Structure 1
């Protein structure tokens, strides 16, 4: 009986050794696999995707050109999302395709995507790593005036291109006093739905829910949202936060010929009366509330990141460190 007990023990040990060997082999294979996948994405910085879902007429072209100018030197890809008829809402099947592409298109990472698309929540599609969203918004009336003249006169970026309302010589003021549709308060409803996203209610003009959702997304889903009026500061903050993409951006913005691109031709500033008339509308009040909310948030972020000295802005150095690190070796 003793012998058989001893044999059992040997058996058990042999099996255990065999199992250990199997686990070790598996680990080595996993290690090799991990190493290979690590080689394709050398580090987490190279896996980053930025989405800039540009609101029309907010200086988005000027900003995007900085990304184009830097992508060669900083080694990332810039891709324009061109939607049919500039439709900011994607079909469900296109949303799935887009999320899949952005997430899995290894050869294009790191990437900077830009286009007139409303916010899309990647978590609903089960992805592990979300892209970084950024955006720029503008005073709603100024944005509308810019768009109004852009449709009539185009700009200096593609001067030969015929625009939708070309030949219509009516000024913005004339449009407002005549109650025209191109300068109607409904046309102000754009920045809210762009931030609100792909929900039906976002596109219901004047929806309180859409305003709240837009604010929620701005705070929770966007890394940084700048304002047209203070674009240089926005560029500077991005360079500080994401040097992998924006190293050299501030200098380029200050000295670049392209940074103030796309002046809308023939733009006449609206009169006080026109502005007052638009400001009476509930839609303006909501769009303006959203704009002020975004502006305040941007100024808050900036106040905690930069200081001004002799009229020059400079970034604060790192203000935290680690201590009381235990256990001691």
Structure 2
């Protein structure tokens, strides 16, 4: 067929249809599969021979995106039993304004927070109370009478006080008491697991533990020399096993979930949703170690009774002091392969971490918007 015998519509179809098809195929190749179509990570996969393929987290919306959305918008977090993250409501006013309860989570900046509050105490006129170190961390308390005693002791405080006590969330309303202002600080789950592993082997930690508890025996040489990569390769070593459905002492979600039977279970979906709901309703601020400056800014504006001047005092007295930040000088570099392996088992923990990240971003947006409005 000669070209002059073709209609114009035939020529257009012959040129643009193949071009459209090529562009469509190109788009399919460049666009990642949606989360619900991506293959799920295998939690029990052995570390030996693990590929360099990295199991990435869900992307975080940048602060600019949250700012454009505004405080009246809501961000939906993916996962079963989704919890809608609403406007950045300040729940500080729901609690006693003269009592601050800090939930310290091991290897999540608790030493930094303790030292900061001690510096702020005489300036902002409150008493700082922190439980002394113990042999083992107590998080899950299944006995209701113990809950009642803890609530009663805190409720009987008569003067402005900041307390640091390491146990999971307790519902004060259940015992007909007004809750204190509650805050906490968390950390990237994998970074926390690595930090915890080498903290247990740090010489200064072992000496301090032995000085406080002389009956404590020093660990074996084999324990001290064992690196994280070796621990992960040994499937029989329980120290590095993070198995969904099994109890893991002091994982991040447990602190916020409470004391139900499912809260100590690692990677439990019911515990995840419970922890999200508790944070939204009960905690004034849950900061992130990776977003320390944002955390200080939000604390100063949401809890000024205790954190007025926190940013300035932190940079004047703590920032350059590695001892006051309890930095582990002996933590070695960890292979990316080991980090990737750990990340495959921390899917639920990362969903909670991302939830807290979005909440902090919304609070920070509200603070910066209010500050900019006042300046104009």
Query: Fold-level match, TM-score > 0.5?
Result: yes
Residue 62 of structure 2 aligns with which residue? Answer: none
1:256 aligns with 2:312: no
Counterpart secondary structure, 1:225: strand
Would you say the 8 A contact 2:182–2:283 is kept in 1?
A: yes
Q: Deviations over 1:101-142 (max 9, x none)?
A: 111221xx2111112211111111011x21111011111110
Q: Cα offset for 1:47? A: 5.0
Q: Give distance in 1, aligned partners of 2:155 and 2:233.
A: 49
Q: Cα offset for 1:212? A: 0.4
Relative to structure 1, the CA distance from residue 299 to residue 159 in structure 2 (aligned partners, 3 Å threshold; closer, same or farther) is: farther
Q: Give distance in 2, aligned partners of 1:51 and 1:166.
A: 37
Counterpart secondary structure, 1:201: coil
Residue 272 of structure 1 aligns with which residue? Answer: 336
Q: 2:146 aligns with which of 89, 94, 97?
A: 94
Would you say the 8 A contact 1:45–1:244 is kept in 2?
A: no
Q: Which one has a bigger Cα radius of gyration?
A: 1
Farther-moved stretch of structure 1 (65-74 vs 135-144):
65-74
Residue 295 of structure 1 aligns with which residue? Answer: 357
Q: Cα offset for 1:230? A: 1.5
Relative to structure 1, the CA distance from residue 46 to residue 97 in structure 2 (aligned partners, 3 Å threshold; closer, same or farther) is: closer
Provide TM-score, normalisation by structure 1: 0.73
Q: Deviations over 1:33-90 (max 9, x none)?
A: xxxxxxxxxxx99852111111110011101111011112211111124577321123
What residue ranges of structure 2 are gaps of 5+ in the alignment? 1-93, 211-215
Would you say the 8 A contact 1:189–1:287 is kept in 2?
A: no
1:184 aligns with 2:241: yes
Relative to structure 1, the CA distance from residue 273 to residue 56 in structure 2 (aligned partners, 3 Å threshold; closer, same or farther) is: same
Q: Deviations over 1:228-268 (max 9, x none)?
A: 11223212221122222112211011121366420123112
Residue 52 of structure 2 aligns with which residue? Answer: none
Residue 153 of structure 1 aligns with which residue? Answer: 202
Q: Give distance in 1, aligned partners of 2:355 and 2:203.
A: 30
The structure, 1 or 2, with the larger RCO (C-alpha pairs under 8 Å, 6+ apart) is 2
- RMSD (Å) for aligned C-alpha atoms: 2.7
Q: Give distance in 1, aligned partners of 2:182 and 2:286.
A: 9
Provide TM-score, normalisation by structure 2: 0.64
What residue ranges of structure 1 are gaps of 5+ in the alignment? 1-43, 308-313, 320-329
